[in-house]
Amino acid sequence: MPGIDRFEYFSDTMSGPSRAPFAIVPSDTVELSVAPKALYVGTGGTVVLLGLDATADTVFKNVASGQIIDVRARFVRATGTTAGDIVGLA
């Protein structure tokens, strides 16, 4: 009988579904433990983040509840972020 994951022998890709989603608690000083493929925003608002290869923060305004931001982030900042229930899609 096959295992639960019918795709376990397929490579993980940037466009593939998240295999390890995790809750994000915004912080100005604590880097994310894993660089996600994207961010899911459960409760809309503003998201301030530092991209994986960026040198300055980026502000995403008016992010809707349920929206996915296709960005690989190192930090999701507490200062300026009003959105909530953010999930890293890794």
pLDDT single digits (tens) 50-75? 999 999 999 999 999 999 999 999 99
The answer to whether residue 77 is domain-embedded is yes
What pLDDT shows up at residue 16? 86
- Residue 32 belongs to domain spanning: 23-89
- Identify the H or E element spanning 35: none
The total number of structural domains in the chain stands at: 1
Q: Distance between CA 90 and CA 17 in Å, rounded?
A: 8
Q: Distance between CA 37 and CA 23 in Å, rounded?
A: 14
Q: Which residue has the tokens 């929206």?
A: 67
What is the Rg, in whole angstroms, of the alpha carbon atoms belonging to the chain?
A: 14
pTM of the model: 0.90
The answer to whether residue 69 is domain-embedded is yes
Q: Distance between CA 44 and CA 18 in Å, rounded?
A: 21
Q: Distance between CA 3 and CA 44 in Å, rounded?
A: 37
